[in-house]
Amino acid sequence: MSSLEEPLGLDKLPSMSTIDRIQRFSSGACRPRVDNLGMGNCWIEGRSCSTSNRCNEDDEEYTAETFPWKRQTRDLSQDDSFCQKTLTKGRKSMKFGMIDDSFSDCQNSPKCNTKDLQDLAYKFLNGIPRFVKIVEVGPRDGLQNEKNTVPAAVKIELIHRLASTGLSVIEATSFVSPKWVPQLADAKDVMQAVHNLRGIRLPVLTPNLKGFEAAIAAGAREVAVFASASESFSKSNINCSIEESLVRFRAVTRAAKQLSIPVRGYVSCVAGCPVEGPIPPSKVAYVARELYDMGCFEISLGDTIGVGTPGTVVPMLLAVMAVVPIEKLAVHFHDTYGQSLPNILVSLQMGISTVDSSVAGLGGCPYAKGASGNVATEDVVYMLNGLGVKTNVDLSKLMLAGDFISNHLGRPSTSKTAIALNRVTSDASKISY
């Protein structure tokens, strides 16, 4: 472990409660200035910032530059190692996959000043939304693949705990055949117990008209349909082709429109399929546009098996953004290869402002072999807090909800944020003063 990777020594830890420690990373933190891009004063000590989350209101606005997608390759013709090149050339700033050499040029120029560095920082941060809506999918997508049955009472308690965190959208359950997803056989009981939660949207998945009717009878006031960009996955997941699924969903959206019920659309396998491999962005764009045209108010783009990277997510988003308004799009990443947060960050830079996530990193798909859990909501909130992006979510309460369901499942949370903050607090409590 290098010195840059060493954890903070216990002798340097102040005495504070878990809540205090989390509040240091709360959404009240401002966007980091160039002189504090690391874990410096802006995050640890905090600053007196305005509600706009900017450290200096006098700084002029910068318009984000849009660069065409361009694949870059490293020049390996020199004898120096990549590490040495990084040290000598300085860090590169990147926007939508295009490498910008202005940082290293500025770094090596005697004319470079703080204002130039601020320009570079805002070029990176300006495209990120001030507020991000988080759609919590733990109670449905997170629990649908559990081997052992989770009692309805536990699911109901989890939803209540999540509602107390400030989350405004919680995907409650799915009205699918118990034959295919037995873990959600209690959908009616769960929905009837939580549908009166005030100020909370509780969408439920409805794969067909029969599921839609059952959901409405149980008290659902928002539903979702889910198509796939992969023909093979569509057949294995919902037993029909992509076109056949779209016919089913048009029937659902027509029925929903008559009752003024909003419909959210999901597109799965947007980066890759366990059978077909990489999925062309044009296929994702086609399905997304079909869902949008049939009346879905929002389209969530899901990397079901977690194979996406910023290099594949960017062209996929560009293709979809060409046919669906960006404000109608959301992203949904699984963390199989640890790429969820980088993928979310690049999505935010492109203007996406809605992110799906699952408390404690719960999740997986019964029809996608190798798919791991969703990105943990705790990790998403922690990152957004660090960027000065508001979510209205209380991280401390969110961690408690994650602890609750993890304890019931008999395994630790997969949220790196929850693990780290709990460990730091535990270590600090052992220190005598």
Find out whether 422 and 400 touch, Cβ atoms under 8 Å. no
Q: Using one digit for the tens of pLDDT, what is the confidence trace for 376-404?
A: 999 999 999 999 999 999 999 999 999 99
Find out whether 278 and 308 touch, Cβ atoms under 8 Å. no
Q: In three state form, how does the secondary structure of 8-76 look?
A: CCHHHCCCCCHHHHHHCCCCCCCCCCHHHCCCCHHHHCCCCCCCCCCCCCCCCCCCCCCCCCCCCCCCC
Output DSSP code: residue 390.
B
Would you tell me how many other CB atoms lie within 10 Å of the CB of residue 391? 22
Question: What is the pLDDT, as a whole number, of residue 77?
Answer: 38
Phi, psi for residue 354 in degrees, rounded to 5? -130, 130
Question: What is the pLDDT, as a whole number, of residue 38?
Answer: 33
CA distance 358 to 171: 10
CA distance 305 to 287: 18
Question: What is the pLDDT, as a whole number, of residue 292?
Answer: 98
Find out whether 271 and 312 touch, Cβ atoms under 8 Å. yes
Chunk the chain into consecutive blocks of 10 residues (it has 433) and report each block's average pLDDT, rounded to whole numbers: 32 41 42 36 33 37 34 36 33 38 52 73 83 97 90 98 98 93 95 95 96 97 97 89 96 98 98 94 98 98 96 98 98 95 97 98 67 88 97 98 96 95 70 52
Output DSSP code: residue 361.
G
133-136 and 169-170 beta bridge pairing: parallel
Helix axes 310-321, 281-293, angle to 10 degrees: 40
Question: What is the pLDDT, as a whole number, of residue 237?
Answer: 81
Question: What is the pLDDT, as a whole number, of residue 427?
Answer: 58
Question: What is the pLDDT, as a whole number, of residue 118?
Answer: 77
* pTM of the shown model: 0.75
Question: What is the pLDDT, as a whole number, of residue 122?
Answer: 74
Active site residues: 365
- Give the ranges where 350-394 is alpha helix by DSSP (H): 377-386
Q: How far apart are the first and last CA of the chain?
A: 29
* Half-sphere exposure (Cβ direction) of 428: Cα atoms closer than 13 Å: 17
Question: What is the pLDDT, as a whole number, of residue 17?
Answer: 47
Q: Give Cα 152 distance to the centre of its chain.
A: 26
